[in-house]
Chains A and B, each alone.
Chain A
Amino acid sequence: MDKPKLATCSLAGCFGCHMSILDIDERILDLVDLVDFDKSPINDKKAFTDRCLVGLLEGGCSTEENVHVLESFRNSCDILISVGACAITGGIPAMRNNIPLTECLSEAYLDGPTVYNPGRVLPSDPEIPLCLNNVYPCHEVVKIDYFLPGCPPSADTIWEGLVALLSGKPLDLPYQLVKYD
Chain B
Amino acid sequence: MSKDKITFTIDGCEVTAQPGQTVMQAADAANIRIPQLCYLEGLTPHGSCRVCIVKANGRLDTSCTLPAVEGMVVENNTEEINEYRRDLVDMLFVEGNHICPSCEKSGDCELQGVAYELGITAPKYPYQFPRRETDASHPDIFLDLNRCILCARCVQTSRDLDGKTVFEFVGRGPDKKLAIRPGARLADTELDITDQVVGSCPVGTILKKRVGFAVPVGERTYDKEPHPEQPVSE
Contact = CB atoms under 8 A, between A and B. Distances in A.
Interface string B106-139: 1100001001100101110011011110000000
Contact of B116 (A82, A85, A175): A175
Nearest to A137: B127
B contact face: mostly helix, strand, loop, or mixed: loop
Report the interface size class on chain B: 20 to 34
Interface string A165-176: 000000000011
Given A175-B226, A178-B121, A180-B106, A85 B101 contact: yes
Interface residues of A, number: 28
B98 A89 contact: yes
A98 B99 CA distance: 13
B127 A140 contact: yes
B88 interface: no
A140 B98 CA distance: 17
Contacts of A146: 121
B65 to A, nearest CB: 29
B99 A91 contact: yes
B129 A97 contact: yes
B223 A176 contact: yes
Contacts of A180: 100-101, 106, 112, 115
Contacts of B107: 181
Interface of A: 82, 85, 88-92, 94-95, 97-99, 134, 137, 139-140, 144, 146-149, 151, 175-176, 178-181
Interface of B: 97-103, 106-107, 112, 115-116, 119, 121-123, 126-127, 129-132, 217, 223-226
